[in-house]
Amino acid sequence: MLHDRILIDPGEEAGERKSAAGIVIPATATMGKRLVWGEVVAAGPHVRQADLGDTVLYDPEDRAEVELEGQAYVLLRERDVHAISEPAEQSSAGMYL
């Protein structure tokens, strides 16, 4: 990775989704601007905020897709990340911003 680039594994959230009622919403459906979460799998030497394994929030419209060894990843600049989640320090489930 070069400079301030971050390689993100988009996980399953970038594809099809289910509504609260259980209806499958295809990935091609148009919706309002929706940010998605992904896990950082690689980071360049000038990345200051995100670490490997962090879960970050990004805009799926502003991305470059890369395929490595059959796995699809997203390549972003650090400045394109909107938030980084922190795991809860207690035993309760959930993510906190």
In whole angstroms, give the CA distance from residue 74 to residue 64.
Answer: 6
What does the pLDDT look like over 3-53, one tens digit per residue? 888 999 887 655 566 667 777 777 666 566 778 888 999 999 998 888 888
Rounded mean pLDDT of 73-93?
79
pLDDT of residue 41: 93
Q: Where are the domains of the chain?
A: 5-15+33-85
pLDDT the model gives residue 34: 77
HEC string for 3-24: CCEEEEECCCCCCCEECCCCCE
CA distance 58 to 36: 6
Whether the Cβ atoms of residue 16 and residue 27 lie closer than 8 Å to each other:
yes
Residue type, 77: R
pLDDT value at position 62? Answer: 75
Q: For the domain with range 5-15+33-85, which CATH number is right: 2.60.40.3880, 1.10.3210.10, 3.40.309.10, 2.30.33.40?
A: 2.30.33.40
How many residues are recorded in the chain? 97
pTM of the model: 0.68
Q: Would the pLDDT of 86 be above 80? A: no
